[in-house]
Chains A and B, each alone.
Chain A
Amino acid sequence: GQQVMQIPQYQHVQEGEDFTTYCNSSTTLSNIQWYKQRPGGHPVFLIQLVKSGEVKKQKRLTFQFGEAKKNSSLHITATQTTDVGTYFCAGRGGNKLVFGAGTILRVKS
């Protein structure tokens, strides 16, 4: 079945450093979504990418969808302590939305 893998599993950065998490699917996706889950919280939708090669920005966050629609990345520029949490990608293949295991981001101030 469809699998979605995320790397790294965990990253600890100094405040102000950049952060990137990568998402790879075993199958071609129709779209990909990104969610953020704060410690003790629930996933909150960030963005959805649909088109091959699409790039979207939200302030310091940049999201990319690969040309083959099998991978995606989230890049955070100049991390802040408010960025702490787990970032999940969720890939839609057919009728299924499959979540990756997430990347835990910790920020040292």
Chain B
Amino acid sequence: DAGVTQSPTHLIKTRGQQVTLRCSPKSGHDTVSWYQQALGQGPQFIFQYYEEEERQRGNFPDRFSGHQFPNYSSELNVNALLLGDSALYLCASSLGSLSSGANVLTFGAGSRLTVL
């Protein structure tokens, strides 16, 4: 049973560039949430995708966008990268959207983004 898989695991970009991170949810899950985790901090909610639509969004600028595909996989795109975007980007899958109640998140190993 495949868990949540993310790619790439590590990447280095320069300021102003764009990046795309990918996530395949755990088998049987239909919802994908993206989190940003800075060093020494807790995961910060970016947004959630359910039924191929963005359902909820945290306090992140429009430079952060995403997509969910019919097979439930998802992408996170970040444009015009800033130094402060350096972080571990975690994808978490679950069954049902956040609004459906007490669903539990299964996290992937993350994509470590360094912006120089």
Q: Does A102 contact B98, Cβ atoms closer than 8 Å? A: no
Partner of B106, one of A6, A45, A96, A99: A45
**Minimum Cβ distance to chain A for residue B46 (Å):** 12
Closest to B55 in A: A95
Q: In whole angstroms, how far apart are the Cα atoms of A30 and B101 in the complex?
A: 9
Partner of B98, one of A1, A88, A95: A95
Supposing A42-B107, A42-B108, A42-B110 touch, asked if A96 and B56 sit within 8 A by C-beta, the answer is: yes
Q: Does A41 contact B109, Cβ atoms closer than 8 Å? A: yes
Residue A106 at the chain B interface, CB threshold 8 Å? no
Q: Does B56 contact A43, Cβ atoms closer than 8 Å? A: no
Residues of A within 8 A of B70 (CB): none
Q: Mark A residues whose CB is within 8 Å of B.
A: 1, 6, 30-31, 33, 35, 41-45, 48, 50, 88, 90, 92, 95-102
Residues of A within 8 A of B2 (CB): none
B15-23, B37-45, B72-80 - interface stretch: B37-45
Residue B90 at the chain A interface, CB threshold 8 Å? yes
Partner of B56, one of A42, A44, A95: A95
Residues of B within 8 A of A50 (CB): 102
Q: Does A97 contact B42, Cβ atoms closer than 8 Å? A: no
Most chain-A CB neighbours within 10 Å: which of B41, B56, B105? Answer: B105
Query: Top 3 nearest A-B pairs by Cβ distance?
Result: A99-B42, A42-B107, A95-B99
**Minimum Cβ distance to chain A for residue B3 (Å):** 10
Closest to B107 in A: A42
CB<8 Å pairs between A and B, sample of 12: A35-B105, A41-B109, A42-B110, A43-B105, A44-B107, A45-B104, A45-B106, A92-B98, A95-B56, A97-B98, A99-B43, A101-B41
**Minimum Cβ distance to chain A for residue B77 (Å):** 21
Closest to A102 in B: B42
Q: Does A96 contact B109, Cβ atoms closer than 8 Å? A: no
Q: In whole angstroms, how far apart are the Cα atoms of A95 and B48 in the complex?
A: 11
